[in-house]
Amino acid sequence: MGTEPLDPGTAMAAYAAPPPRGAAFDAWRTWESRDGADGVIAAGILAANARNVQPWRFTVGDHSTRIDVYADLDRRQGALDPFDRELYVGLGCALENMVLAARARGHRPELSLMPDPARPEHAATLRLTPGERVPSELYDAIPHRRTNRGPFLRQSLPRPLLDEIAALAGDDSGGPDLLWFADGEGREVVARLLVEATEAVIADEGQSLAGHHWYRGTDREIERSRDGMTVDTQGMPPLMSTLGKRLPAPSRRTADRFWLRNTRTVHVATAAAFGMITVADSDDRAQRMRGGRLLQRIHLFATARQLAVGHLNMMTVRADRERELGLPPRFGKALEELVGDPGRQTLVTFRIGRPGRAAGTSPRRPVATVLGTDAG
Ligand SMILES: Cc1cc2nc3c(=O)[nH]c(=O)nc-3n(C[C@H](O)[C@H](O)[C@H](O)COP(=O)(O)O)c2cc1C
Whose alpha carbon is nearest atom 2 of ligand 1? 50
- Please work out whether the CB of residue 90 comes within 6 Å of at least one atom of ligand 1: yes
- Please work out whether the CB of residue 338 comes within 6 Å of at least one atom of ligand 1: no
pLDDT tens string 124-142: 999 999 999 999 999 999 9
- Please work out whether the CB of residue 89 comes within 6 Å of at least one atom of ligand 1: yes
Distance 350 CA to ligand 1 centre (A): 9
- Please work out whether the CB of residue 122 comes within 6 Å of at least one atom of ligand 1: no
**44, 57 in Cβ contact below 8 A?**
no
- Please work out whether the CB of residue 348 comes within 6 Å of at least one atom of ligand 1: yes
Whose alpha carbon is nearest atom 1 of ligand 1? 86
- CATH number for the domain spanning 280: value is 3.40.109.10
pLDDT tens string 20-35: 889 999 999 999 998 8
Counted domains in the chain: 1
pLDDT tens string 70-109: 999 999 999 999 999 999 999 999 999 999 999 999 999 9
Distance separating the N- and C-terminal Cα atoms of the chain: 51
Q: Which atom of ligand 1 is nearest to the CA of 228?
A: 21
- Please work out whether the CB of residue 50 comes within 6 Å of at least one atom of ligand 1: yes
Distance 55 CA to ligand 1 centre (A): 12
Residue 348: its H or E element: strand 345-353
**Parent domain of 141:** 1-376
- Please work out whether the CB of residue 207 comes within 6 Å of at least one atom of ligand 1: no
Say how far residue 235 (Cα) sits from the centre of its chain.
15
**258, 250 in Cβ contact below 8 A?**
yes
Read off the pLDDT band of 376 (50, 70, 90): very low
Residue 111: its H or E element: strand 107-113
Local structure of 44: helix, strand or coil: helix
